[in-house]
Structure 1
Amino acid sequence: MKRISNLSIVGLALLSQTVFADTLIHAGRVIKANNNDVKNNMTIVIDGNKIKAIESGFKTPTSKDTVINLKDYTVMPGLMDMHTHISSQHNGLASYLDGFKLNEADYALKGVVYAKKTLDAGFTTVRNLGDSYNVSVALKKAINNGMIDGPRIYTAAKSIATTGGHADPTNGRAMAITGDPGPKEGVINGVAEARKAVRQRYKDGADLIKITATGGVLSVAKSGQNPQFMTDELKAIVDTAKDYDMTVAVHAHGKEGMKRAIEAGVDSIEHGTFMDEEIFKLMKKYDTYYVPTVMAGNWVAEKAKIDGFFPELVRPKAASIGPLIEKTFAKAYFSGVNIAFGTDSGVSAHGDNALEFELMVRAGMKPIDAIRSATFHGAKLLKISDELGTLEKGKLADIVAVKGNPLVDISLMKNINFVMKDGKVYKFIK
């Protein structure tokens, strides 16, 4: 038997008497988001980057503890936006020239600015659904390494399209400079290329796959809703993505494209403008999430009223499709479809993400359901519920707070006073 020296015994005794410092958040109101309950006068105990405990009342601190006074605030999990484009922001006709004027470094620097705005708005986790040059992959690494401030990024890198489809980067270009983009550039035709495009994104460092299953509003192409992938191509993408433990997000406006994608087993439908009862039924059958992006629809509809803001091929699509998303969202909500919060920020301005809460509630969603769509359901869609999405013991300390009660006035979500990510405070405006 190994002998324990007197010195070791003294060391163990001292260790047993050591009081380790915690951070105590004294919260006046807590939305844990694992259900609809709201708790008053609670203490959230944080040890390092994790939640150690959530206790009733305001716990008395030790001399070593740090206390954050949020007694006049509503405290909730860090918010999640499931549809962003973190390295760009639409600016009318000028945005259509960016591909000819900007380099990788330009997009990367824009991404640094937009990431900080997003975090300051209370969004500690985002899905990035499409960019160029793998900028979001580099941005994700820089944030994870602590080089810059920003949300956790789960990125699809470059979206996957078909030739001439929404997200074909050469749409609208002169023939002399169009070229023939393939799977590496995110353009596929046929099953083999579909598989290669998924594998290329895995190689590039993407976390998930984003495809454009129908036409889109802002692409320089005639249709905003026609199906643009064949069933075998969709199935090849989904099956290959599953092999790499990647989920599949699907841009879709038209019904037929949505139907094909849902039946192929995708994880979420983005926008979903022309959904109907048949699509709702399919989504519930396949447990497919809906990410509405109401504010993007409203934004493009408003900008379509301005002469010269969009190319003339885009303007009628923006005017007709944009206003429908809010109505579709209301029908989807009352039908019982799973809904995760998403804004399409990068179309509208980064940092304005919380406007989506107002629009969701205006359409009939309960405020608590809107908040849970950006917490509990975001984590579930990303398959990270074991770490994030709710305030519970053992989960990462991503925590935000607003002064007042957003369940009474949802517009308060636009003024996040406190932001903690991974146990570190990034913003506290008293």
Structure 2
Amino acid sequence: MGHSLYFLRNAGVFAIALAAVSAPVSAQNSVITADKMIDVLTGKAVDYPAVFVDADGRITSIADARTVKWGSDVKHINLSGKTILPGLIDMHVHLDGPADIGGYRGLEFTDSFWGMTAVGSAQAMLKAGFTTVRNVGSDNRNDIGLKQAIENGYATGPRIVPAGYALGATGGHCDSTFLPPSLEKSGKEEGIADSEDELRYQVRRQRKYGAEVIKVCATGGVFSRNTEPGQQQLSERELRVIADEAHQWGLRVAAHAHGGDGIKAAIKAGIDTIEHASLVDDEGIKLAAARPRPVWFSMDIFNTDYTQSEGAKNGVLEDNLRKDREVAQIQRDNFRKAHKAGVKMVFASDAGVMPHALVGGQFKVMVEYGMTPLEAIQAATRNAAQALGRDKDVGAIAVGRFADIIAVDGDPLANVRELESVDAVVKGGKIVN
């Protein structure tokens, strides 16, 4: 008690000292120039852009670098010979999930291990050009802690939209399903609920401790035990309680939903993004395309290449690999159908299932299954920002938004595989890679 009182009495002193240590030494306006810029809002390429950025890292104007002048007090970030695009956004990641540790191999490590690995995963994603990520579920609120560490200068990584613990039903995909009863915790796992009141409480609890999006498991999953992807695990009414409660607090909801019935229930309930959407049927696609409040499909159609080639070596159980094989091609075919039908779509990799550094490889698969290179890029920029409700901050090189910018050597509109190897990354007007 004595130590607690001492800390409270001196909290102001500590806060002032910390602010003095972490405050930037200096702030400077800057200008970023390149040979070409992809404007994802208009779909056009702009020659010789000069992007002016204020000391807070936001874009103030965009001019022609061949004619505009700037003073010596403006820092020049020269990306001559390159094409610049908005920083990419991945809407489905698990930063505290190393892809090379699967199945029961996870029991080799202590609880805090996973949060430590998230630091490297965040750096890998930033280096790959992803300046914003949505982390849809983590143990111990590792995503929230990492977000705070990055924002306060203790770690390097993208802007994180965290979910904290994912919500789900007892025995469902978001529950712990690998251990016998004798080794389980007493009481329910964090986030697990079995009534509408419990689900409403869990929404409020995750928000209370820092969640900026609510993740819920509407169906079974591929990498859990004793669940099947097509199996609905929460009712439409339960999902509506979650959506209504989250929306009341100004939060959006992401629903893990592989199965057709669970997808349709989530769409009808008002969920904002449908994660995976692997086994969506024609009715579900029509519901998604027609719903007045936008719903976005967030489909990870690349990671199965990694899980099938490396999963067994990493310890993933054969039953999980079996489920992965069964849904993989169906999901890709349904991605094509949903896109053709006009469903709104965002970029989502499920990084953690695959290595975080490799997620740029999904762009080529999105193009292979029906998108143009521009549409695939827009899914990871303009669309994702809209789905996040952050289209005043990120997702485009535009006045008022953060100067989150990536550069590549070639033309990604001609060859989207340019995005597999990003040459420079700017976050908030500062070169980070």
TM-score normalised by structure 2 residue count: 0.89
The alignment status of 1:67 with 2:76, answered yes or no, reads yes
More moved, 51-60 vs 272-281: 51-60
Measured in 1, the distance between the counterparts of 2:301 and 2:155 equals 30
Distance change (3 Å), C-alpha of 1:310 and 1:22: closer
Q: 1:310: how far off?
A: 2.7
Q: Could you tell me which amino acid in structure 2 is paired with residue 383 of structure 1? A: G
Residue 238 of structure 1 corresponds to 243
Residue 145 of structure 1 corresponds to 152
Q: Secondary structure at the match of 1:322?
A: helix
What RMSD in Å do the two structures reach over aligned CA positions? Answer: 1.8
CA contact (8 A) 2:86 2:406 kept: yes
Distance change (3 Å), C-alpha of 1:32 and 1:104: farther
Q: 1:222: how far off?
A: 4.2
Residue 348 of structure 1 corresponds to 354
Q: 1:97: how far off?
A: 3.6
Aligned counterparts, 1:16-415, within 5 A:
22-48=29-55, 49-58=57-66, 59-91=68-100, 93=102, 95-98=103-106, 100-169=107-176, 171-179=177-185, 181-182=187-188, 185-286=190-291, 287-303=294-310, 306=312, 309-415=315-421
Q: Could you tell me which amino acid in structure 2 is paired with residue 357 of structure 1? A: F
Measured in 1, the distance between the counterparts of 2:363 and 2:232 equals 30
Measured in 2, the distance between the counterparts of 1:27 and 1:146 equals 28
Q: Could you tell me which amino acid in structure 1 is paired with residue 355 of structure 2? A: A
CA contact (8 A) 1:112 1:139 kept: yes
1:116-137, CA deviations, whole angstroms, 9 ceiling, x for partnerless residues?
A: 1111111110000111011111
Q: Secondary structure at the match of 2:43?
A: coil
1:400-424, CA deviations, whole angstroms, 9 ceiling, x for partnerless residues?
A: 1111111111111011111111122
Q: 1:194: how far off?
A: 0.7
Q: Could you tell me which amino acid in structure 2 is paired with residue 243 of structure 1? A: Q
CA contact (8 A) 2:98 2:353 kept: yes
CA contact (8 A) 1:299 1:322 kept: no
Measured in 1, the distance between the counterparts of 2:401 and 2:140 equals 33
Distance change (3 Å), C-alpha of 1:55 and 1:105: same
Measured in 1, the distance between the counterparts of 2:348 and 2:187 equals 29
Q: Could you tell me which amino acid in structure 2 is paired with residue 69 of structure 1? A: N
Measured in 2, the distance between the counterparts of 1:308 and 1:159 equals 24
Q: Secondary structure at the match of 1:401?
A: strand
Q: Could you tell me which amino acid in structure 2 is paired with residue 30 of structure 1? A: M
Q: 1:297: how far off?
A: 3.5
Distance change (3 Å), C-alpha of 1:418 and 1:307: closer
Distance change (3 Å), C-alpha of 1:61 and 1:319: same
Residue 416 of structure 1 corresponds to 422
Residues matched between the structures, number: 403
1:311-368, CA deviations, whole angstroms, 9 ceiling, x for partnerless residues?
A: 2332321121123222111111111110111100000001111111111011121001
CA contact (8 A) 1:121 1:416 kept: yes
Q: 1:173: how far off?
A: 1.1
Structure 2 residue ranges without an equivalent (≥5): 1-26
Measured in 2, the distance between the counterparts of 1:308 and 1:90 equals 8
Residue 4 of structure 1 corresponds to none
CA contact (8 A) 1:300 1:319 kept: no
Measured in 2, the distance between the counterparts of 1:392 and 1:308 equals 42
Residue 3 of structure 1 corresponds to none
